[in-house]
Amino acid sequence: MADDSFKQSVFHKRDSIVSRTVDGNTLLIDINRSLRDEDLGYCVLTGVGDRIWELLDGRHTLERIAGILVEEYDVTREIAEEDLKSFLDELIQRNFVLRTDSKAPGTG
């Protein structure tokens, strides 16, 4: 399960990321990196990944996003939080998403 500080973190898309949906898949491209870079300046999201991407607006905490996933998909809160944390860790590592440790006022 995600630790409490991570649960209360807010996530948002980096400004350099452009996203387009094609045939039900969301393509993310970092306009500051070449598609030929070793670090892969692009990513394709499908299914739940698309929904999570929509929710990365700088207002929702991991805890709230996990709650939305529990409501919309057949998944337990524990699994939703674990899988969401892994997914966000990968997007952060690949520089598609930023994490802010403090929750935005009046959100969640």
How many helical (H) and strand (E) elements, i.e. helices and strands, does the chain have? 4, 6
Residue 43 belongs to what H/E stretch?
A: strand 42-45
Topology of the domain comprising 4-96? Outer Surface Protein A; domain 3 (3.90.930)
> What SS3 class is residue 86?
helix
Q: What is the pTM of this model?
A: 0.82
Domain boundaries, the chain: 4-96
Task: Quickly count: other Cβ atoms within 10 Å of residue 73's Cβ.
Answer: 12
CB 44 within 8 A of CB 25: yes
Which pLDDT tens digits describe the chain residue by residue (108 residues)?
Answer: 557 778 889 999 999 999 999 888 999 999 887 655 566 678 899 999 999 999 999 999 999 999 999 999 999 999 999 999 999 999 999 999 999 886 544 444
Q: What is the pLDDT of residue 33?
A: 79
